[in-house]
Each structure stands twice: as C-alpha cells, then as structure tokens.
Amino acid sequence: EFLLNIPAFQGLKAEYPGARLTLAVDNCVYELAKRLPFVDELLIWENRRHSLSEILKFSRELKKKKYDACLIFNPSKEFNLVSWLAGIPLRSGYDRKCAFLLNRRIEDKKSEGLKHEVDYNLELLETIGITKSLYDFSLDIKDSDFPDARMSEIGLSGNDFIAVHPWASNKQKEWPVHKFQESCRRLALEFKVVVIGGKEERERSVEFCRGLKVIDLTGQTTLLELGGLLKRAKLLLTNDSGPMHLAAILDIPVAAIFRKSPAGVSPRRWGPVGEKNIVIENDNIADISVDEVMNEIKKII
C-alpha cells in the first residue's frame, strides 16, 4: 500500500536532506505521489509483469542516473534484478524473491501481523542505519481537488455527508453487502450518503445503490478527486481498503470494518492510522451487526 510507505519516504529525506529522493511508483498512484513535497523525482514502474527488454531498458535508465542507494519496499524479483543491473551500490529489501541480488536484507515478518504496516516499512530503513520513527504523512490534498462546482452539481455542500466504501480488493475482507445497504438506509435518514469506489466496482455499485437514497460516485473520481472529496466528508464507513488509508491520513474520521484474523490481515497491521478512527472487528466479519456499526459511528459523530 503506497500510502503507508509515506512515513518511510519522509524518514529517508529527514535523515539525508541534501540527497535527491526518487520514487519508482505504479501509474495508478503517480498523481498522488506528485503531492509529496519532499520527493525530487518520480519514475513509473507499473505493478505488472515486465518483459526482459523492459527490465533491461529501465535498468539502463537508472544506471545513467548513478543512484547511491535503492530501497525496495514491495518485494519484487524484477525490481531486485533492475537495481542489480543498474549497478546501484547499496540495494536494500526483504529476504525473499531473489534476495541474493540485494546486499542489505531484512526478514519479511509482515504475515505475522505483530505491528502496523507503517512500522514494518520504517523497519526497512534500519538496514541503512536510520532508526528514527516518523509517523509523518505530508500528502498535499486540497478541497479544490474536488471543486465546489462539482460538489454543488451532485447536491453536496460543506461536510454534510458521509462517504461509504463497501468494497475491498479481497472479497474475504468485505462486510456483507446487505449490511452495508442497511447502514446506508439508516445513515440517509440524517445525512447525505456518498458511495465511492474504483472503476472496477462500477457494475456492482449499480446493483448496490438500487433503491437507496445515496449519491453514487463509484468509478467517477480520480485518486486526487477522491482525496478532495474525502477531505470534506464527515466520516468514512469502509472495509479495509485504500480509501480507508487515504481518509485516515487526511485526518478524516473512519469507521473501519475488519476481520480480526488471520493476523496478517488484522487491524493491528492494516488498521487506519490516527486517533479519530474506530475499528469494528470480528473473527468472522459477517457476524458484525448493523447495530454494532451504527453505535460506533454515533460515537465518532
């Protein structure tokens, strides 16, 4: 999760303020990455399988830039190979996926879920001697990223609405759809409700929103627009998801629904950061009741 790497990126820049910091990111988070004020350069390396010619081409580009060090936060055989072919002197990452190509390694214990993902990412900095922990998110999202004109167009003003994200990349992390629908019905009695999600959920959202008094923006916002929208929300009700992390680091209250186990997917590792948030968890996510969720939302509001 790109957003949960931000404190580690910030830690690198804080330790070496005179160094030039370059991030290689997937195209889908490129616009968000541009909003990190301490980053000097962005390169696109898509999260997909690359051909050998693409790997060789990218490694040659990196070699020309003469980087001193490379930290690989997302274990990848391809990027381990790229960093080695680029001749980067210090190559740090996790002890898996062709880790022999690296010269600084750390054991990957993330699946144990003993600490938060942010802390695991900060732990990687220790391989190059950085031990300070900075829970600092400097993502520059503005209200204007979802402009007033568009707010008015869909019938919103101020922060009079609650955002709902009923989807997750892993279906096992999803609270039952009918419970999300009932939550929307109850919330809509007092607030305007906006359903959000990616383009891949557009078809599901049409069925989800049928008969509900909600504004459906699923698949209709870029990540920057979503950030601008969430920044205006009163609260986000969500499964464990990217929008959950985006809202949390923007200091928007989050009511997050989680599976308690296994540990690798638990809120201890993936929960929203910050003090305003509430996590509703159960070993069986389907056993969480609508009443339980509504009661927790009332505590936040």
Q: What is the pLDDT of residues 73-124, one digit of tens each?
A: 999 999 999 999 999 999 999 999 999 999 999 999 999 999 999 999 999 9
**Does residue 137 surpass a pLDDT of 80?**
yes
What CA–CA distance (Å, rounded) separates 192 from 156? 8
Helices 177-187/202-209 angle, 10° precision = 60
* Contact in structure between 229 and 194 (CB atoms under 8 Å): yes
* Contact in structure between 93 and 72 (CB atoms under 8 Å): yes
Cβ atoms within 10 Å, residue 158: 8
Residue 48: pLDDT band (50, 70, 90) is very high
51-61 average pLDDT score = 97
**Does residue 18 surpass a pLDDT of 80?**
yes
Cis preceding linkage at 166, omega within 30: no
Token digits of residue 262: 């296994």
What CA–CA distance (Å, rounded) separates 171 from 266? 15
Cα radius of gyration (the chain):
20
H/E stretch holding 78 reads: helix 77-85
